Amino acid sequence: MYRIGVDIGGTFTDFTVVDDQGQITVWKEPTTPDDPTSAIRNGLHAVAADLGLALERFLGQTALFVHGTTIATNTVIQRNGPTIGLLATRGFRDVLYLRDGFKPDRFNIRMPHPQEFVERSRRIGITERIDKNGAVLTELAEDEVREAAATFGRLGVSAVAVAYLWAIANPAHERRTAEILAEELPGVHVVCGADVLPEIREWERTSATVLSAYILPGIDAYLRALETLLADLGMPRPPLIMQINGGCASVAEILRRPVYALASGPAAAPAAASAYARRVGLNDLITIDMGGTSFDVCLIRGGRPTISRTIQVESQPVGVAGIDVHSIGAGGGSIAWVDSGGALRVGPRSAGAVPGPACYGAGGTDPTVTDANVVLGYLAPDAFLGGRRTLRDDLALQAVSSKVAEPLQLGVLEAAAGIIRVVNANMVQAIRAVSIERGIDPRGYALVAGGGAGGLHAAQLARELGIKRVLIPREAGVFCSFGMTVTDVRHDYVRAFHALSAHVDLSTLERLYGEIESEARDRLRSDGFDDDQIVLERSVDARYPGQVHELTVAVPASETLSDADIRTVEAAFHDEHKLLFTYSRPELPVEFLHWRVTAIGRMPTTVQFQPIGETTSDLAAAARLGQREAWIDGHGMVPVDVFDAESLVAGATVSGPAILQSPTTTILLGSEDELTVAVDGSFDIRVSILQPTPV
């Protein structure tokens, strides 16, 4: 049986296929922006042919198909979604405008107000009121809902977000509103805040609901088309979709809470890195994923990626818990340009899949990071994608020369090297944002590099940060799609229940957890998991009284909760607060807000990584392809040894400067770097750290 992971990127759609013996097959197919399913169809045909199987037989033997989609994220970033409406409690329709009372950049007096996703004319207040305990104070004015539906109909609204003030305590009014809208506006999507984010803070909850409504029509059409495509091709099981929380879920679950589809693709790289961390016995990693369009960074501590509830997209809070991936526009397709002040910039604009970098010969004329790597000799024109695409070094040279070298009055090699230095500086800053700027010293971490372009830059990034070890998995070129083959199904549940640690109603808490966990088990059973494959993890959002932010700490999984369990949670909060903020206040009670359950369905099969190759007397010699001229900082263009990465066997060592090339990625070693091939085929680089010159 096979497991398939498919990740659609801005330039390539990546495929990873893993069989029962742990053998991995990878493929890159050019993304088709006008119809993403075309790239999926083409890639599946290519992978089946590579395996020597008819497509229908290949898919018929597939136990798992996990897909990461950029549809939701691109819709929000490009703001090309449909016209939507918002129904809010009367008096609260401007929650989106008022936000939390702060600007995203608090000290920028010239900062314009962030653009909203639903204009004020389509934000309508409805008479209704429920108190914080769930008691109805004012009945829902159903006639107002019908009037609002008529208004939305005239305005051509495609989806409606319903976010009433205390629906988290009692969702009856939201439920009834959804029923009325279904009657009055057949075919129009409706999303309720109590389903998406049942937590306090009306801005975050309303924002998550509005974002869900904004992306729902687009992903609904796309995911339905994907299901139809796979069924027509012979896939016996429906696909699962990667979520922002690092797990996957069914299409039906995604359509119920569409906001979980944001950052669907990037969330898979930390999942891959976590699996890799377990595989090599490391707990603290910084994972980077550099593809054609973006550069994604995530910190992994204790073997788990950092989870955040403060993620924002386009200055709007997502609200739900998500893997804290920091992304910038820095990839192989990022365009280099000279600004009005004569400074060299790289990104965030990308050449994308069409027309792509100039060296693709598909009509692109702007110089990109990939073009610079070609000019500097790092990429072999005839080895890209295993020779399936020939790179035009003459077009790369022309683009860098005309749009960077000439305006800056530099030689073309110096201009190309400048492009690499600038994009590296951008990526170093992104790594600093998830480490140094949060009080974490990256020098105690290993850097795990993924993405087709990651291996070209990883050693230099590590060098600039003082990181001494870089790990590049054999499947790095398709890191996100590989992550999708090793991830579990995950559902997150939350209930608002306010309490102080000194006075917790344990019977109410036990009943609350019982309801959540019963729902969680039923959902995972409906997903096809047996009880021994189901894992439930409890946690709670806690803070000191008066604080405006919370920390999430684990709650013991006791069948009967006791005062001792609450004291354990209390102590864990104090410890975590001191770790993050250097102090704690154990004399104060702890305030509990949201009680959470993470429901995980463990996949029945696991990827087994097989040892590669056999040892010989000279392990690297057989993989050496020769030499070519390449730019090495401080030396200029010099002869550099080139190796076939896929032919290097376990135990082989390569000393820099050197280039290792494979169909899906290329690795660049600096002058004194040393690479060793691990038993599983991954590449372990010991980075030479430059010592400062004495003054």
Answer whether residue 690 shows pLDDT above 80. Answer: no
Q: Quote the domain boundaries for residue 394.
A: 334-425
Strand pairing category for 62-68 and 84-89: unpaired
At 597 the three-state DSSP class reads strand
Contact 512, 504 (CB under 8 A): no
Average pLDDT score over the chain: 90
Token representation of residue 9: 């990127």
The helix (run of H) or strand (run of E) holding residue 385 is none
The percent of residues in the chain predicted with pLDDT above 90, rounded, is 62
Q: E strands of 451-519, at which residues?
A: 469-472, 489-500
Say how far apart CA 520 and CA 523 lie, in whole Å: 5
Q: Do 510 and 418 sit in the same domain of this protein? A: no
Query: Of the candidates 551, 571, 601, which is a domain's last residue?
Result: 601
Number of separate domains in the chain:
3
Of residues 438 and 139, more confidence is placed in 139
Average pLDDT for residues 455-476, to the nearest whole number? 93
Which stretches within 20-114 are classed as H helix? 36-50, 55-60, 71-78, 95-98
pLDDT at position 517: 95
- Write the pLDDT tens digit of every residue in 479-497: 889 889 888 889 999 999 9
Contact 419, 338 (CB under 8 A): no
**C-alpha angle with apex 71: 69 to 74, nearest 5 degrees?**
120
Say how far apart CA 104 and CA 21 lie, in whole Å: 49
Q: What is the pTM of this model?
A: 0.83
Q: Do 587 and 508 sit in the same domain of this protein? A: yes
Which stretches within 600-684 are classed as H helix? none
In a domain, 555, yes or no: yes
Say how far apart CA 260 and CA 264 lie, in whole Å: 8
At 173 the three-state DSSP class reads helix
Q: Do 391 and 498 sit in the same domain of this protein? A: no
Residue closest to 375 by CA, chosen among 405, 338, 351: 405
In a domain, 22, yes or no: no
- Residue located via tokens 């959804």: 178
CATH number for the domain spanning 516: value is 3.30.1490
pLDDT at position 429: 95
Which residues face 138 on adjacent strands? 129
- Residue 58 zone, left/alpha/beta (φ > 0; ψ -120 to 50; rest): alpha
Query: Of the candidates 407, 425, 443, which is a domain's last residue?
Result: 425
CB proximity list for 205: less than 8 A, separation 6 or greater:
163, 168, 193, 196, 197, 198, 199, 319
Token representation of residue 572: 């864990």
137 exposed, middle or buried (CB, 10 Å; 0-12, 13-18, 19+)?
exposed
**C-alpha angle with apex 48: 45 to 50, nearest 5 degrees?**
110
If you ran DSSP here, which 8-state letter would residue 368 be given?
Answer: B
- Write the pLDDT tens digit of every residue in 555-565: 998 888 999 99
- Write the pLDDT tens digit of every residue in 361-417: 989 999 999 999 999 999 988 877 766 778 999 999 999 999 999 999 999 999 999
In a domain, 688, yes or no: no
Q: Do 415 and 505 sit in the same domain of this protein? A: no
Query: Of the candidates 384, 406, 425, which is a domain's last residue?
Result: 425
Q: How far apart are the first and last CA of the chain?
A: 63
